[in-house]
A and B are shown apart, each in its own frame.
Chain A
Amino acid sequence: MTHPLYGTTAVAGVGLRQFKRGASPLPERSLLVEAILDACLEAGLNPAEVDGFVSYGDDKNEPVRLMGDLGTRRLAWSASVFGGGGGGIAGAFGLAASAIISGQAKAVIVFRALAEGASGRMSAAVMAHHLNDHLLAAGLVSPAQMCAIRAQRLFKHYGVSQSIVEDLVRASYHHARNNPEAVGFGQDFDIAALHTSRWIAEPFRLFDCSRENDGAGALLLVSAEQAQDLAKPPVYLLGCAQGTEAGWGDLLENDADDLYATGGFRPVARDLYRQTGLSPADIDCVQLYENFDAQGVMSLIDHGFCTYENAAEVIRFDNLIAQGGKLPVNTAGGNLAQGFIHGIGLPIEAVRQLRGESANPVSGARTCLLAGGPGAPTVSSAIFANKVL
């Protein structure tokens, strides 16, 4: 039996506003309003008809406060995926789709907005969600440090070569170079900078870490039926899974031994593939949330694209780029080089890629996997496609 989420909803419009961190010309909520208006404009849908909103990662913009600017007539669904990090980003689409297929809303915006002036440093906000005296006493107060401790185990216990993160970083900057919206647009990234930039928390140096930007992103999700009547070609949601299972969670570093050096996606990937009937071989490109490059590697392993043992054979620059790679990853530049508004740029690139609008088009791409923030106590992933397979 086909899963209820399979191809029953679609993204009909996207909007993205991105600025340098701390340099937004508009207040945070105004950025969000602009991104939502852009998404509706693309779709040819009156923004007043949007009746649902979903976010993740402790976004502070409660949807009811957007009603005036958007002219919202009826707010029927407002919800957020629990969790302070980017783990919930893909789950937000499942939540939005649930509202639509159960008839509780018709046009749902999935969004994330962030401006330093309003929300502070994102890394500090994410960590504030988790901080306790155990962490403070150990001097572990940032996502970078928590992910660094997991990365050490990946490299030093499992023996994954640390040099493979270099290929992921190079591919990200390679894609960003062609993307006018990317922080890394037009720049030749010198990979030596990865090895010479200052230490943050070993094994991470500065360029192992994602950036933070001011900005907002919005994606309009409607029923597959309605999407066919709107202006843009529909990008269908084929499946979505979120959460965790026993052995992983908010456990003060007491996750199961065989899960410790993962991104936490094993149950989510398993359910996603089971739900859709697809496998890693069916995925034409990946938008991969990399808060830190090593966590991106873990996420690719968790989703079945490679193993600890053969990661170095798969995570190679020429295999990761849109121009001929078998596993094109982060074709707009990703969190490392496109910019980082808590990951919302990733699903937007998934949609653009599947419409053929990417700055780095993947020839013949039909499917795109969105992998949410790795290492969070609860994570999520989704698969999008430009036709229902």
Chain B
Amino acid sequence: MNHRLDGADAPYWQSLEAGQLQLPRCASCRRWLWPAGHRCSTCGSIGMVWEERPLRATVYSWTRTWHRFALTEALDLPYVSIVAEIEDCGIRLMGRMDDPSPDDPAIGEAVVGRIDRTRVGDDAIPTIIWSRAA
């Protein structure tokens, strides 16, 4: 069973598989919508369109994990997770960041992403890995 194939956000996962980032917006009022759903909460229209966004964002918040939680066995400790606000659409995505230690990530700083995978058990989930923008 793979929810990446049948959920409302399936096009997101398929876009990452294809090497790009696509995000949904209302087909009628053009508002960006996330999490992906079925109906626009602003204008009430059914239906959304998916558009490519560049892998550019700012750090909205972050944490560096030191404890070995179950399901993170494939990740080297410590690792940095961030909430990234995607450029020009305001949608926030969770992802991981190349640890910029000794300087902590800073809220508001620019990051650029690449698409990799995160191994969880037998699964390999497409993942955006962010790095501090040059």
Contact = CB atoms under 8 A, between A and B. Distances in A.
A152 B92 contact: no
B12 to A, nearest CB: 9
Interface stretch (A251-259, A269-277, A367-375): A251-259
B13 A145 contact: no
A202 B63 contact: yes
A133 B4 contact: yes
Contact of A139 (B13, B34, B72, B92): B72
Contacts of A132: 3
B112 interface: no
A281 interface: no
B18 interface: no
A202 B104 CA distance: 10
A136 B118 contact: yes
Given A133-B13, A145-B69, A152-B107, A139 B118 contact: yes
B49 interface: no
A138 B127 CA distance: 7
Interface residues of B, number: 38
B75 interface: yes
A199 B71 CA distance: 18
B28 interface: no
A131 B71 CA distance: 11
B70 to A, nearest CB: 7
Interface string A198-239: 111111000000000000000000000000000000000000
Interface in B89-134: 91-96, 104, 106-107, 118, 120, 125-127
B61 A136 contact: no
Contacts of A144: 67
B92 A254 contact: yes
Contacts of B93: 134, 252
Contact of A136 (B66, B71, B107): B71
Q: How large is the interface on A (under 10, 10 to 19, 20 to 34, 35 or more residues)?
A: 35 or more
Interface string B28-67: 0000001100000100000000000000000011111111
Contacts of B91: 254
B125 A133 contact: yes
A312 interface: no
Nearest to A140: B81
A1 B53 CA distance: 53
Contact of B62 (A152, A198, A200): A152
A133 B36 CA distance: 14
Contacts of A137: 94-96, 118, 125-127
A254 B85 CA distance: 9
B73 to A, nearest CB: 11
A389 interface: no
A134 B94 contact: yes
A252 B125 CA distance: 16
B83 interface: yes
Contacts of B35: 250-252, 254
B117 to A, nearest CB: 8
A135 interface: yes
Interface string A112-141: 000000000000100000011111111111
Given A133-B13, A134-B94, A137-B94, A149 B61 contact: yes
Interface of A: 124, 131-142, 144-145, 148-150, 152-153, 156-157, 198-203, 246, 250-254, 260
Interface of B: 3-4, 13, 34-35, 41, 60-67, 69-72, 75, 78-79, 81-83, 91-96, 104, 106-107, 118, 120, 125-127
